[in-house]
C-alpha cells in the first residue's frame, strides 16, 4: 500500500476476510444461485439448506438455545432498531430506558426515537476517566421504572469490556429487558448467550470476518414470540387475505422479503473458519499485541491515550499534541498503515474526554508486534511532518 507493506489496523470498522468465505459466496453465485424457502426445484432446496445450515452454525457459535432465536438482519444496527420497534407497545410515559455513555450511535439514536414517540426518558450511566462504566451510578439509575437496558459489550471507541453478566443480573432483578450490542465483542471474546441470559444480543458479520450487509439478532424465544413483526412482506407470513394476515413461526416472522442469501452462506463459512481456531491462544495473542501497542504509544511524547480501562480488548485510541487526528491518519496512510480517525460514531465519548476526534488502531488475530512497530514509526513520522 503506497509502496509499503500494508499494516491493516482498522478492524473495529471491518475485518479482512478468509478465502473460504469468499469462495463460498462465489460458489453460490456461480453454481447454486436460487431463492430460498419457497422453491421445490433442486437449486432452491440446496440454497435453502445452506442458508439454514449457516443459521444453525451461528446458533452454535454464540451459544443460542435454539435456531429459532437467530434472526438474520442487515447488521447490528438493524437488530437494535428491530427491538426498539418491537417493544414500543411496552413503553409509555414515565418509563425509562438505560444506556451507557460509551455507546455507538446505533445504540443511542433508536432509543432516543423511541423515547420521543412514547414520552419515556433516556437515562445514561456515566464512565470514568479510564473509560470504564461506573457501576455504582449504573445501579443507582436502574430502577423499577427501567423497562430496557441497552449496553455495548465492548466499546468501539475505547475497547472497554463491560461487565455484561453483572448488568444482566441487575437489570433482570428490576424486571427490565436487556439488549447487548456485541458487534465489537464477538471478534475477540467467546460468548454463550444462553448462559449470559440476556434477552437480546446483536452482531454484524463483517466485523467477524464475514461479509457486509448481514448480521444477527439473537433473542430469547419467549421474548421474540411476544414481539410484533418489524416489517411486512413475503416469507414472514403464514397466510394472507385482504381481511387478515397470520404470521410465520420464529425466526421467519422477522425476515420479510428475499434475504442476503449469499451473505448468510458466506457468514456460515467464516464461522466454520473461526471454529477451527484456538480461541484461548487468540485471546492471549491479542492481549499481547494490545498491551505492547499501549506501552509503545504511551512512550511517545505528546500522545494521550483515550480509554485505559483495565478490562479492554482490541482498540487503542489516542490524540497527539497539535495534530488533528485526520492528519495523523493521512500521514500514516502514506506509510502503509491503515487506521481510523474521527468520532467513530461515538460523539458523546469524544465529548466526555474533551476531544473532537481520536486516531484509533484496532487489532485482529492476524496483527502482531511488527504491525505495532510500523504504527509507532508512522506516528513518529507524523511528528516530523508537523514539527
Confidence of residue 212 (pLDDT cuts 50, 70, 90): very high
Give the tens place of pLDDT for each residue, 337-362. Answer: 999 999 999 999 999 999 999 999 99
With the CA atoms of 86, 87, 89 and 94 taken in that order, what torsion angle do they form, in degrees rounded to the nearest 10?
-150
Is residue 78 pLDDT above 90, yes or no? yes
The whole-angstrom separation of Cα 362 and Cα 313 is: 9
- Residue linked to cell 414470540: 225
Distance between CA atoms of residues 31 and 26, nearest Å: 8
**Residue 311 pLDDT > 90, yes or no?**
yes
Q: What is the pLDDT of residues 122-131, one digit of tens each?
A: 999 999 999 9
Q: Which fold has domain 19-275?
A: 3.40.640
Asked if residue 314 lies in contact with residue 13, where contact means CB atoms within 8 angstroms, the answer is no
For residue 387, is pLDDT > 90?
no
What Cα–Cα distance (Å) separates residue 139 from each residue in 100, 128, 143, 296?
Answer: 12, 15, 8, 36
Torsion sign (Cα): 224, 225, 229, 232: positive
Give the residue range(s) of CATH 3.90.1150.10 domains in the chain. Answer: 279-386
Amino acid 38: pLDDT: 83
Total-model pTM = 0.97
3-state secondary structure of 258: coil
Give me the long-range contacts of 194-200 (CB less than 8 A, separation at least 24): 194/63, 194/64, 194/65, 195/63, 196/63, 196/164, 196/165, 196/168, 197/168, 197/169, 197/172, 198/164, 198/168, 199/223, 200/79, 200/83
Place of cell 443480573: 169
Dihedral sign from CA coordinates of 88, 179, 101, 168: positive
Active site annotation includes 276: no
Rounded Cα distance between 133 and 141, Å, is: 13
- 78 phi/psi in degrees, rounded to 5: -65, -35
Q: Beta partners for 336?
A: none
Instruction: Look at residue 103 and tell me whether its pLDDT is greater than 90.
Output: yes
| Residue 278 pLDDT greater than 90, yes or no | yes
Q: What angle do CA 184, 188, 193 make, to 5 degrees?
A: 75
Which residue, chain included where needed, has cell 440476556?
Answer: 198
pLDDT, the chain, mean:
97
Q: How far apart are CA 321 and CA 306, in angstroms?
A: 13
* Set 115, 198, 276, 345: catalytic member: 345
| Average pLDDT over every residue of 269-296 | 97
Among 44, 78, 74, which residue's Cα sits nearest to residue 200?
A: 78
Please check whether residue 103 is in contact with residue 202, taking contact to mean a CB–CB distance below 8 angstroms: no
Q: What confidence score (pLDDT) does residue 256 get? A: 95
What pLDDT, on the 0 to 100 scale, is given for residue 1?
A: 84
Tell me: pLDDT of 134 over 90: yes
Q: Residue 7: is its pLDDT beyond 90? A: yes
| Residue 89 burial (C-beta neighbours within 10 Å; 0-12, 13-18, 19+) | exposed
Numbered ranges of CATH 3.40.640.10 in the chain:
19-275
pLDDT tens for each residue of 177-200: 999 999 999 999 999 999 999 999
Confidence of residue 244 (pLDDT cuts 50, 70, 90): very high
We find that the CATH architecture of domain 279-386 is Alpha-Beta Complex (3.90)
Amino acid at each position: 500500500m503506497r509502496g509499503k507493506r500494508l499494516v491493516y489496523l482498522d478492524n473495529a470498522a471491518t475485518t479482512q476476510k478468509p478465502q473460504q468465505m469468499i469462495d463460498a459466496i462465489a460458489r453460490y453465485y456461480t453454481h447454486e444461485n436460487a431463492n430460498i424457502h419457497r422453491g421445490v426445484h433442486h437449486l432452491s432446496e440446496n440454497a435453502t439448506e445452506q442458508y439454514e445450515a449457516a443459521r444453525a452454525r451461528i446458533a452454535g457459535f454464540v451459544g443460542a438455545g435454539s435456531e429459532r432465536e437467530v434472526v438474520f438482519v442487515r447488521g447490528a444496527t438493524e437488530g437494535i432498531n428491530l427491538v426498539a420497534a418491537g417493544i414500543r407497545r411496552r413503553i409509555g410515559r414515565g418509563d425509562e430506558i438505560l444506556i451507557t455513555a460509551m455507546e455507538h450511535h446505533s445504540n443511542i439514536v433508536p432509543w432516543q426515537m423511541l423515547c420521543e414517540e412514547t414520552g419515556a426518558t433516556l437515562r445514561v450511566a456515566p464512565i470514568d476517566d479510564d473509560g470504564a462504566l461506573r457501576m455504582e451510578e449504573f445501579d443507582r439509575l436502574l430502577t423499577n421504572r427501567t423497562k430496557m437496558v441497552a449496553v455495548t459489550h465492548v466499546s468501539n471507541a475505547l475497547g472497554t469490556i463491560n461487565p455484561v453478566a453483572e448488568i444482566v443480573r441487575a437489570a433482570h432483578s428490576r424486571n427490565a429487558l436487556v439488549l447487548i450490542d456485541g458487534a465489537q465483542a464477538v471478534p475477540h471474546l467467546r460468548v454463550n448467550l444462553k448462559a449470559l441470559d440476556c434477552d437480546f444480543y446483536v452482531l454484524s458479520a463483517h466485523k467477524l470476518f464475514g461479509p457486509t450487509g448481514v448480521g444477527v439478532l439473537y433473542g430469547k424465544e419467549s421474548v421474540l414470540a411476544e414481539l410484533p413483526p418489524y416489517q411486512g412482506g413475503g416469507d414472514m407470513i403464514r397466510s394472507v387475505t385482504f381481511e387478515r394476515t397470520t404470521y410465520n413461526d420464529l425466526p421467519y416472522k422477522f425476515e420479510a422479503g428475499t434475504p442476503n442469501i449469499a451473505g448468510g452462506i458466506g457468514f456460515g463459512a467464516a464461522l466454520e473458519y473461526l471454529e477451527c481456531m484456538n480461541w484461548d491462544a487468540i485471546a492471549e495473542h491479542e492481549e499481547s499485541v494490545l498491551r505492547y501497542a499501549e506501552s509503545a504509544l504511551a512512550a511517545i511524547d505528546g500522545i494521550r491515550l483515550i480509554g485505559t480501562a483495565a478490562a479492554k480488548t482490541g482498540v487503542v485510541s489516542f490524540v497527539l499534541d497539535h495534530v488533528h487526528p485526520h492528519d495523523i491518519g493521512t500521514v500514516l496512510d502514506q506509510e502503509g498503515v491503515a487506521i481510523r480517525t474521527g468520532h467513530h460514531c461515538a460523539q458523546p465519548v469524544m465529548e466526555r474526554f474533551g476531544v473532537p476526534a481520536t486516531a484509533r488502531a484496532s487489532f485482529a488475530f492476524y496483527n502482531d508486534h511488527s504491525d505495532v512497530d510500523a504504527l509507532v514509526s508512522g506516528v513518529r513520522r507524523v511528528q516530523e511532518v508537523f514539527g
